[in-house]
Amino acid sequence: MKKTFLALACASLIPAVSAGFDQTEEVARAKQAVAGFSAALKSELMAAMQSGGALRAIEVCHTRAAEISEEVSLETGMSLFRVSQQNRSPSNVPNDWQTAVLQDFKSRILAGEEAASLSWYAQAETADGPEFRFMKAIPTGGLCLQCHGTQIAPEVADKLSEIYPQDKATGFKPGDLRGAFVVTSRVD
């Protein structure tokens, strides 16, 4: 499975178009963008959980996740967002190549790899020119279960279904793949 996927990923790779483009450096920049987003969202999420519990923290995820990813995208010049095959927000549906990577992450977790250690990158041709693509798996941790787990408090569940009538992001256990960060950038 892993081999098949890698073969597919390699087929979509194109030779470096610009001598100045360094994939290793771009991977490092993408990882930094992800770390910046994660740290900012997590600290706001935890502060809200402490002051007003999960009910209050839903607002942070609802409004701040998209705002923070926009801020990070502006700062870094890379586009950063989150996707999940079991998405809560309708904006976080993965496209075809993102779904293929998520599937690969899932099989690697089944084969015994830790979700926290999984990432992937490639360079691909698009209608707008060559694009650098990076994804990093998002594992489910203990903190996440109040809103993504199997036993969600009734008032939290009510609020979630009010804001997200199509919510698919519940039923997760610690260590499960919750989704992934996606970072893309133009290759000049």
Task: Give the binding site for ligand HEC (CB under 6 A).
Answer: 54, 57-58, 61-62, 65-66, 82, 84, 87-89, 92, 138, 140-141, 143-144, 146-148, 169, 178-179
123 in Cβ contact with 13 (< 8 Å): yes
What are the structure tokens assigned to 177, written together?
A: 């793949």
Q: In the complex, what is the shortest distance from the CB of residue 164 to ligand HEC, in angstroms, rounded to a whole number?
A: 7
Query: Which one, 130 or 149, has the nearer CB to ligand HEC?
Result: 149
Query: Which one, 26 or 44, has the nearer CB to ligand HEC?
Result: 44
CA dist 41 and 47 (Å) reads 10
Element holding 147 (H helix, E strand): helix 145-148
Q: In the complex, what is the shortest distance from the CB of residue 159 to ligand HEC, in angstroms, rounded to a whole number?
A: 9
DSSP 160: H
Query: Which one, 125 or 155, has the nearer CB to ligand HEC?
Result: 155
From residue 178, alpha-carbon distances to 11, 115, 139, 160 in Å are 27, 9, 5, 17
Q: In the complex, what is the shortest distance from the CB of residue 68 to ligand HEC, in angstroms, rounded to a whole number?
A: 10
Q: In the complex, what is the shortest distance from the CB of residue 93 to ligand HEC, in angstroms, rounded to a whole number?
A: 9
